[in-house]
């Protein structure tokens, strides 16, 4: 039995209303069932639930899907964990549905040990026997709900993990588990007795660290007594844990990041927990100040609105410089939130409250401007050389923007503020000279070194960091995070509702304009299905095919939504031609606009005049084509 079988069984045996009823209170109005939609700020019941169609749809925000996707969205779970949760609530045995898959026994063992350890620490904390944990929750103004969300735990002054591993009865399994735990540095060898082990973490508040899909890969911990050597102690880098790849709490914040179309980046897990607790659920944390390209790329995979909310000390400032630069190189102008006199967002929110933080977010300025501001000395120097030094530093900050107007305007304004009276053209020229001299060698020697160290530590390792891209059931096969553009969604919806469009001559021309492979493949499937089945089966067959984890959430949502009030229909040729013409223009326009954006991005990094002219010509061509589309008229119908 596979997980697909399980999903099928859930769909057939458990009414969707009873799955949703586990989380929302459902009201009956006539034959319809409705509830308040949990996916937008709903006040009246906007979500409709249809047991015979086995679907839900919110008529306000458009969220739609089957029971499993409801649980995925609502609880922020991946496909497998959603299945697990439904099983546990409805008396099905998840474990009897296993996935056949090649597995690496060491990684599987590590996952088991890490998950189990997190659970042991959590249970120890919940036992209520440890005052240090209770004090921590109280002093940090947290509650048990937040503690549960973040699985906060407690490691007592005992060998809890060692004891657990030693209790494994099979001697081979036990030895393997102990060796793996040793590699993860969850336990250590007793120097005086090579056969004995002891726990690494003792008398500590424990915070699990997860990879992006929620698998525990390590721990960070906080001392509970003043005489402990290290106040904070992290898991060592291991084949499971790569500090430079971790965006702490990303799996918890994902949905909120999407919904709010913004991400708040903080420096430590305590900051994330605190902000999350206060309603800023789109917050994630980098591990310390180890900001790497990979981490930032993940951060901007869901939104381009980035708020850097790092500590107000020197390390936080250095991290901000680095993050700002790497983001600017990717075309993202990050905003900056300053917390002084408080030292970090956690302190700030405790001192001033969440409204004050909300205000800070709303008034946040681009990090670049904040950085430039910091360069301006209290007393403007009289020496020109000193001024040039400062101008050089400003150029360094702006350099990722290349000679974009956003940079040159800023440099001119900045020069004026530190007392230069030269013509703007001269200042710009000086900045451009800086660019041509410094394009190859980044000046943040310190920052660069840190990144290199991080990257080397992966390549030196024998293991590809599998924990990051893989979860126990290889989620990569499931629900790919593919985003459909607005027009692709519209196109898909039209085709689903009127599949006879696929028989029209112009269809292939239109498919060429669809950039998304998933959509193309899916349309191919519809074409095949409509030829093979009776029209009366169309809806149920297609829905069954679609609500499978191999499709992205986006695609599933569009298709489900299209079927929610679906009635089979056909249209005459003239109407269909009209629809196709419309779709073609819209898809083509969208494609050209995307191309335009790409060219504009390229313009920010041009190296020569020839290149610039080339790009400008391309832009002109695109504009011409766009104009042509605007004036296009459908061909006369014969
Ligand atoms: Zn809604």
CA of 492 to the centre of ligand 1 (A): 21
pLDDT of residue 289: 60
CA of 559 to the centre of ligand 1 (A): 16
CA of 56 to the centre of ligand 1 (A): 10
CA of 125 to the centre of ligand 1 (A): 37
CA of 43 to the centre of ligand 1 (A): 10
CA of 93 to the centre of ligand 1 (A): 31
Distances, alpha carbon 167 to alpha carbons 30, 63, 159, 162, 274, in Å: 58, 47, 12, 9, 37
CA of 66 to the centre of ligand 1 (A): 14
Say yes or no to pLDDT of 451 above 50. no
Comparing CA positions, the residue from 83, 52, 78 lying closest to residue 563 is: 52
CA of 560 to the centre of ligand 1 (A): 14
Those residues whose C-beta lies under 8 Å from the C-beta of residue 349, and which sit 6 or more positions away, are 274, 275, 278, 356, 357
Q: How confident is the model at residue 479 (pLDDT cuts 50, 70, 90)?
A: very low
pLDDT of residue 545: 84
CA of 19 to the centre of ligand 1 (A): 17
Q: Which residues surround ligand 1, an ion (CB under 5 A)?
A: 37, 39-40, 58, 60-61, 63
Euclidean distance between CA atoms 395 and 148, whole angstroms: 47
Say yes or no to pLDDT of 117 above 90. yes
- CATH code of the domain made up of 3-96: 3.90.580.10
pLDDT of residue 472: 29
CA of 553 to the centre of ligand 1 (A): 15
Comparing CA positions, the residue from 129, 135, 182 lying closest to residue 158 is: 129
Q: Which overall architecture, per CATH, does domain 105-230 show?
A: Alpha-Beta Complex (3.90)
> Do 105-230 and 245-366 share a fold?
no
CA of 570 to the centre of ligand 1 (A): 30
pLDDT of residue 415: 94
Say yes or no to pLDDT of 457 above 70. no
DSSP for residue 98: P
Furthest-apart CA pair in the chain: how many Å?
94
Comparing 468 with 235, the larger pLDDT belongs to 235
CA of 196 to the centre of ligand 1 (A): 56
How are beta strands 216-223 and 204-210 bridged, if at all?
Answer: antiparallel
pLDDT of residue 635: 65
Distances, alpha carbon 579 to alpha carbons 51, 82, 507, 584, in Å: 32, 38, 11, 9
CA of 546 to the centre of ligand 1 (A): 21
Phi, psi of 630, deg, nearest 5: -60, -35
Which sequence spans correspond to the domains of the chain? 3-96, 105-230, 245-366, 376-440, 486-631
As given in the structure block, the two tokens for residue 599 are 């060219």
C-beta atoms surrounding 18 within 10 Å = 15
Euclidean distance between CA atoms 92 and 9, whole angstroms: 10
> Cα torsion at 280, 284, 289, 290 (round to 10°)?
-170
DSSP for residue 472: T
Q: What is the pLDDT of residues 29-57, one digit of tens each?
A: 777 899 999 988 888 899 999 988 889 99
User: Which strands sit side by side in the sheet containing 27-29, from one edge to the other?
Assistant: 27-29, 32-35, 47-50, 55-58, 64-65
As given in the structure block, the two tokens for residue 291 are 């900001």
Find the distance separating the first CA and the last CA of the chain, reported in whole Å. 55
CA of 248 to the centre of ligand 1 (A): 28
CA of 37 to the centre of ligand 1 (A): 5
CA of 257 to the centre of ligand 1 (A): 16
pLDDT of residue 621: 92
Q: What is the pLDDT of residues 154-172, one digit of tens each?
A: 999 999 999 999 999 999 9
CA of 256 to the centre of ligand 1 (A): 14
Q: What is the pLDDT of residues 280-318, one digit of tens each?
A: 999 999 876 668 877 888 888 788 899 999 988 888 888
CA of 61 to the centre of ligand 1 (A): 4
As given in the structure block, the two tokens for residue 176 are 């393997």
Euclidean distance between CA atoms 248 and 237, whole angstroms: 15
C-beta atoms surrounding 625 within 10 Å = 16
Q: What is the pLDDT of residues 411-437, one digit of tens each?
A: 999 999 999 988 889 999 999 999 888
Q: How confident is the model at residue 77 (pLDDT cuts 50, 70, 90)?
A: confident
CATH top-level class for 245-366? alpha beta
Comparing CA positions, the residue from 203, 245, 206, 201 lying closest to residue 227 is: 203
Comparing 473 with 181, the larger pLDDT belongs to 181
- Look at residue 120 and give its three-state secondary structure: helix
Euclidean distance between CA atoms 594 and 331, whole angstroms: 15
Placement of tokens 């969205």 in the chain: 73
Note whether 476 and 212 are within 8 A (CB): no
CA of 258 to the centre of ligand 1 (A): 14
CA of 42 to the centre of ligand 1 (A): 6
């Amino acid at each position: 039995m596979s997980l697909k079988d399980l999903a099928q069984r859930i769909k057939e045996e458990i009414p969707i209303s009873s799955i949703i009823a586990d989380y929302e209170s459902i009201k009956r109005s006539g034959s319809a069932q409705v509830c308040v939609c949990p996916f937008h700020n709903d006040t009246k019941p906007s979500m409709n639930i249809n047991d015979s169609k086995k679907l839900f749809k919110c008529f306000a925000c458009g969220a739609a899907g089957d029971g499993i996707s409801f649980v995925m969205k609502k609880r922020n779970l991946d496909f497998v964990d959603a299945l697990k949760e439904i099983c546990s609530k409805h008396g099905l045995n998840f474990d009897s549905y296993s996935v056949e898959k090649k597995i690496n026994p060491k990684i599987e063992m590590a996952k088991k040990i890490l998950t189990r350890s997190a659970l042991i620490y959590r249970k120890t904390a919940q036992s209520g026997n440890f005052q240090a944990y209770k004090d921590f929750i109280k002093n940090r103004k947290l509650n048990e709900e937040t503690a549960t969300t973040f699985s906060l735990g407690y490691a007592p002054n005992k060998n809890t993990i060692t004891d657990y591993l030693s209790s494994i009865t099979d001697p081979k399994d036990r030895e393997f588990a102990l060796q793996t735990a040793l590699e993860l540095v969850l336990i250590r060898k007793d120097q005086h007795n090579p056969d004995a082990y002891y726990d690494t973490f003792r008398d500590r508040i424990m915070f699990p660290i997860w990879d992006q899909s929620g698998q525990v890969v390590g721990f960070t911990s906080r001392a509970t007594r003043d005489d402990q050597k290290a106040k904070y102690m992290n898991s060592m880098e291991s084949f499971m844990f790569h500090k430079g790849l971790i965006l702490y709490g990303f799996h918890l914040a994902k949905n909120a990041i999407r919904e709010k179309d913004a991400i708040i980046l903080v420096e430590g897990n305590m900051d994330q927990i605190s902000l999350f607790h206060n309603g800023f659920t789109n917050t994630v944390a980098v591990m310390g100040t180890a900001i790497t390209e990979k981490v930032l790329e993940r951060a901007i995979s869901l939104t381009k609105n980035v708020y850097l909310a790092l500590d107000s000390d020197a390390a936080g400032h250095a991290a901000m410089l680095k993050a700002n630069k790497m983001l600017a190189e990717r075309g993202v102008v990050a905003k900056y939130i300053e917390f002084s006199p408080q030292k970090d967002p956690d302190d700030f929110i405790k001192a001033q409250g969440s409204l004050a933080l909300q205000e800070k977010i709303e008034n946040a300025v681009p990090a670049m401007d904040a950085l430039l501001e910091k360069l301006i000395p209290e007393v403007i120097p009289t020496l020109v050389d000193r001024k040039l030094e400062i101008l050089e530093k400003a150029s360094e900050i702006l350099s990722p923007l290349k000679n974009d107007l956003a940079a040159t305007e800023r440099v001119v304004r900045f020069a004026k503020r530190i007392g230069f009276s030269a013509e703007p053209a001269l200042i710009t020229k000086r900045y451009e000279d800086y660019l041509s001299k410094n394009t190859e060698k980044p000046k943040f020697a310190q920052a660069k070194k840190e990144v290199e160290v991080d990257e080397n530590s992966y390549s030196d390792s024998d293991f590809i960091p599998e924990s990051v891209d893989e979860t126990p059931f290889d989620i990569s096969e499931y629900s790919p995070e593919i985003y459909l553009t607005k027009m692709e969604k519209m196109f898909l919806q039209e085709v689903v509702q009127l599949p006879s469009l696929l028989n029209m001559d112009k269809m292939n021309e239109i498919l060429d304009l669809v950039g998304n492979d998933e959509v193309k493949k899916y349309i191919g499937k519809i074409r095949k299905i409509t030829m093979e089945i009776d029209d009366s089966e169309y809806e149920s067959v297609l829905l069954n095919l679609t609500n499978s984890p191999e499709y992205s959430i986006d695609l599933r949502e569009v298709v489900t939504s299209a079927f929610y009030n679906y009635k089979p229909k056909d249209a005459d040729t003239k109407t269909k031609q009209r629809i196709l013409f419309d779709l073609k223009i819209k898809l083509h326009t969208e494609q050209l606009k995307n191309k335009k954006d790409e060219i504009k991005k390229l313009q920010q990094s041009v190296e020569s005049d020839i290149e610039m002219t080339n790009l400008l010509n391309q832009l002109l061509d695109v504009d011409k084509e766009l104009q042509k589309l605007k004036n296009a008229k459908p061909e006369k119908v014969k």
